[in-house]
């Protein structure tokens, strides 16, 4: 117990000694500051005097016009009297001539050209060729009598190539060019070179979307040729969709395949 009390007292004594030391140092510093202010040189505390020239204003002199404190503009010196100048008379400009009246020149219009006469084609005249005769006058494309009925849409052939022709069951079919497109598509998948000569007719149905089905042989040309024609349609499978002008949902086409060696 005594040892603890002695430790506390010793700590307080050390703290008191540290505080007294700080007070002594502070007093010594303030004393040095006051002494330096008292014994400092005089030019440290006095401000430097400025040597400036004073401005002198004189109220004497002759009286003059009141210019409001502004300097008046000086006049130009005149050394002799100038003689009056005579201004030369300006001649009047000549009067403008009135515009001359010119009569417009007559424009000669070209004479109208006479209408061109229609060119008449020379009639074919041959001593060996005689005009065809029949029960009635009608147009036809064949040179000889074929006993075939005229196709309403003018007939559709491929112009060679061995595909023969194509016909439909619809009277007055609207779009013969569509049949030409179908025949051209099928021809790409058809192998004509079979080493034999013959022909057959195959019927098939084209749906609105161009799908082909209902393939049947109507007129046979032999087993080999029939299989080849049917295969061409089966490989094709799809053609151009039916034209908008055709109102039906399906179109039956009869196509002739001609084979040659």
pLDDT band at 210 (very low <50, low <70, confident <90, very high): very high
- Reported as half-sphere exposure (CB side, CA atoms, 13 A), residue 43 has a value of 2
d(CA 84, CA 89): 15
pTM of whole model > 0.95? no
CATH number at residue 175: 3.30.1150.10
Taking residues 130-150, what's their average pLDDT? 56
Cβ atoms 219, 128 nearer than 8 A:
no
Domain that residue 253 falls in: 166-259
Specify if 54 maps to a domain. Answer: no
The answer to whether residue 78 sits within a structural domain is: no
Residue 9 lies in a domain: no
Are the beta carbons of 218 and 171 closer than 8 angstroms?
A: no
For residue 204, is it within any domain?
yes
**Between these two residues, 92 and 63, which has the higher pLDDT value?**
92
Model confidence at 156, in pLDDT bands (50, 70, 90)? very low
Residue 96 belongs to a domain = no
Q: Are the C-beta atoms of residues 190 and 228 closer than 8 Å to each other?
A: yes
pLDDT at residue 45, as a whole number:
59
Structural domains in the chain (count): 1
Q: How confident is the model at residue 141 (pLDDT cuts 50, 70, 90)?
A: very low
Lowest model confidence (mean pLDDT) among 28-42, 199-213, 235-249? 28-42
Using alpha carbons, list the distances in angstroms from residue 152 to 122, 171, 225: 31, 7, 29
Does a structural domain hold residue 188? yes
pLDDT exceeds cutoff 90 at 234: yes
**In a domain? residue 44:** no
The residues near 258 (Cβ < 8 Å, ≥ 6 apart) are 162, 163, 164, 198, 199
Contacts of 188 (CB under 8 A, 6+ apart): 236
């Amino acid at each position: 117990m005594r040892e603890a009390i002695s430790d506390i007292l010793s700590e307080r004594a050390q703290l008191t000694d540290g505080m007294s030391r700080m007070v002594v140092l502070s007093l010594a510093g303030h004393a040095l500051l006051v002494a330096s202010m008292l014994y400092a040189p005089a030019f440290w505390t006095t401000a430097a005097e400025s040597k400036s020239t004073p401005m002198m204003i004189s109220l004497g002199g002759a009286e003059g016009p009141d210019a409001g404190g502004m300097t008046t503009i000086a006049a130009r010196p005149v050394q002799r009297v100038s003689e009056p100048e005579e201004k030369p008379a300006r001649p009047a400009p000549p009067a403008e001539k009135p515009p001359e009246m010119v009569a417009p020149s007559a424009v000669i219009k070209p004479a109208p050209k006479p209408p061109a006469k229609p060119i008449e084609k020379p009639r074919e005249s041959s001593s060996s060729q005689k005009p065809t005769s029949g029960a009635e006058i009608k147009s036809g494309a064949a040179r000889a009598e074929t006993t075939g009925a005229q196709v309403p849409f003018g007939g559709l052939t491929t112009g060679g190539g061995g595909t023969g022709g194509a016909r439909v069951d619809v009277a007055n079919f609207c779009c013969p060019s569509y049949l030409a497109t179908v025949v051209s598509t099928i021809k790409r998948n058809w192998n004509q070179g079979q080493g034999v000569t013959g022909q057959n007719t195959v019927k098939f149905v084209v749906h609105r979307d161009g799908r082909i089905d209902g393939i049947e042989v109507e007129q046979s040309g032999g087993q080999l040729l029939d299989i080849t024609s049917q295969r061409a349609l089966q490989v094709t499978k799809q053609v151009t969709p039916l034209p908008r002008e055709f109102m039906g949902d399906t179109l039956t086409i009869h196509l002739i395949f001609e084979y040659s060696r």
